[in-house]
Amino acid sequence: MTFRARALLEPDNCAFVFIDHQPQMAFGVASIDRQLLKTNTVALAKTAKLFGVPTLLTAVETNGFSGFIWPELMDVIQQKPFERTSMNSWDSDTLVAAVKATGRKKIVLAALWTEACLLFPTLSAIEEGLDVYIVTDASGGTSVESHQAAIRRMEAAGAHSTTALTVLLELQRDWANRASYDGVMAIVREHFGAYGMGVDYAYTHVHKAPQRAQFPHQV
C-alpha cells in the first residue's frame, strides 16, 4: 500500500534506536510509572519488529553501573547492544555509522534518561540533518520537571514528540492493511490498557470470537 503523506512515519522511511533501557537507569526514573515505562518500551520494540523497521540497541556501562538491558526488550530485538561510556550515544562512531547505514532519515528514539541520554543524541542527530522522533512514554527522567524541560528543549530544536501507541498506529495507518492487522491488535491487547480491553470486547461480543479461556460455572 502506498501512502501520500510522507511527513508521517512509514516502515520504509524510519529506523528505531533504543538507548539504555537498563535496570540502574530505570531505578532513577521518577517521571513515569516504571512498569508502564517498560510495557510501552516493549510495545515499541514489537512495533518495529512487526513492521520490519531497522532497530538498534545501545547500552551504557553495562558491567560498571547500569546492568543488562531489560530481558523483555532483548527477547524482542535479539541483537548485541552497542556498548559505550559516553552519556551521548551520538559520540559512538560505531553506533552513528550503524544508524546512517540504515539509509533512513527519520530516527525514532527512546531512552533513559530523558534529560541526558535522550536529549544529547537528539540534538546531535538534528544537527546532522536527521528528522528525530522522541517517544516520550518509552523514555523517563529523574523528575517530571527534568523530563518535561528536556522535551521542550528537544522540540525547540526540531524534534517531534510522540508516544508508543501513536507510532504503532502511524505505521499501520490503514485497517485494510491486513498483513499487519493481527499483529497490531496483539500489541494493543497486551500493552495498551483500556484500548486493548475495548478490542477484547469487540472481538468477543461484536464479532463473537471465543474467549481466550472457557471455565465452567461455579455451583
CATH of the domain at 69: 3.40.50.850
- Residues 117, 49: one domain? yes
In a domain, 6, yes or no: no
- Residues 55, 157: one domain? yes
The yes-or-no verdict on residue 2 having pLDDT over 60 is no
- Residues 104, 186: one domain? no
Give pLDDT, residue 105.
96
- Residues 153, 198: one domain? no
- Residues 87, 182: one domain? no
Range scoring the smallest mean pLDDT among 20-29, 147-156, 192-201: 192-201
Confidence tier at 213 by pLDDT (50, 70, 90): low
Q: How many domains does the chain have?
A: 2
The yes-or-no verdict on residue 219 having pLDDT over 50 is no
CA distance 115 to 113: 6
- Average pLDDT of the residues of the chain: 92
Confidence tier at 212 by pLDDT (50, 70, 90): low
Grouping H, G, I as helix, E, B as strand and the rest as coil, residue 24 is: helix
In a domain, 160, yes or no: yes
- Residues 131, 69: one domain? yes
Match 559520540 to its residue by C-alpha cell: 91
Supply the pTM of this predicted model: 0.91
pLDDT, tens digit (0-9, with 9 covering 90-100), for 26-56: 999 999 999 999 999 999 999 999 999 999 9
Inter-residue contact 112 to 20 (CB < 8 Å): yes
Rg (CA), the chain: 18
CA distance 150 to 132: 14
Give pLDDT, residue 218.
52
Beta sheet of 14-19, edge-to-edge order: 82-84, 55-60, 14-19, 106-111, 131-135, 160-162
Q: Does residue 213 or residue 194 have the better pLDDT?
A: 194
> Which three cell numbers mark 35?
512498569
Domain of residue 35 covers 14-171
Task: Report DSSP state, residue 67.
Answer: -
Residues in the chain: 219
Confidence tier at 204 by pLDDT (50, 70, 90): low
Give pLDDT, residue 207.
63
Confidence tier at 197 by pLDDT (50, 70, 90): confident
Return all residues near 97 (Cβ < 8 A) that are at least 6 apart. Answer: none
pLDDT, tens digit (0-9, with 9 covering 90-100), for 120-131: 999 999 999 999
- Residues 26, 110: one domain? yes
- Residues 95, 200: one domain? no
CA distance 172 to 124: 29
- Residues 129, 63: one domain? yes
Residues belonging to the active site: 117
